[in-house]
Amino acid sequence: MNSQEVKYVGIDCGKKSLEVVRINSENSLERRQFSTTESGINNLLKWLTSNDIVGLEAGSQSFRIAKSILNKGVQVIVLNPGDLATIYQSLKKTDKEDTRC
């Protein structure tokens, strides 16, 4: 795996935790969980790289988290939950499944 390749990161923002998955060009998944505390967000920021492109569903905490990610210089896209039909068609509706969509 090339360290310069773009990797896509999906974040599902829960009340107390962030379910995070990173996928590379070889479809290899790396899962992590971070708390929504300041310490947890800082750990997320340390884990992210400048090659990551992050997508997260709009919600009560999303914009605070997106701003922190942008301030680190990582590209982030806040997604409209109404446009994420794949999640709602899933038979297994869990935070971990949301991040894969």
Structural domains in the chain (count)? 1
Task: State pLDDT tens for residues 13-30.
Answer: 989 999 999 998 888 899
In this model, does residue 101 exceed pLDDT 60?
no
Asked if residue 64 lies in contact with residue 78, where contact means CB atoms within 8 angstroms, the answer is no
Domain housing 34: 7-100
Task: State pLDDT tens for residues 43-91.
Answer: 999 999 999 999 998 888 899 999 999 999 999 999 887 776 665 666 5
CA 91 – CA 83 distance, rounded (Å):
18
Q: Is residue 65 part of a domain?
A: yes
Q: Is residue 85 part of a domain?
A: yes
- Tokens read off for 40: 């947890």
Q: Is residue 72 part of a domain?
A: yes
Q: Is residue 1 part of a domain?
A: no
| CA dihedral sign, ordered 73, 25, 83, 44 | negative
Q: Is residue 19 part of a domain?
A: yes
Q: Write the CATH number for 61.
A: 3.30.420.140
CA 91 – CA 76 distance, rounded (Å):
27
Q: Is residue 2 part of a domain?
A: no
Residue 6 has a pLDDT of 86
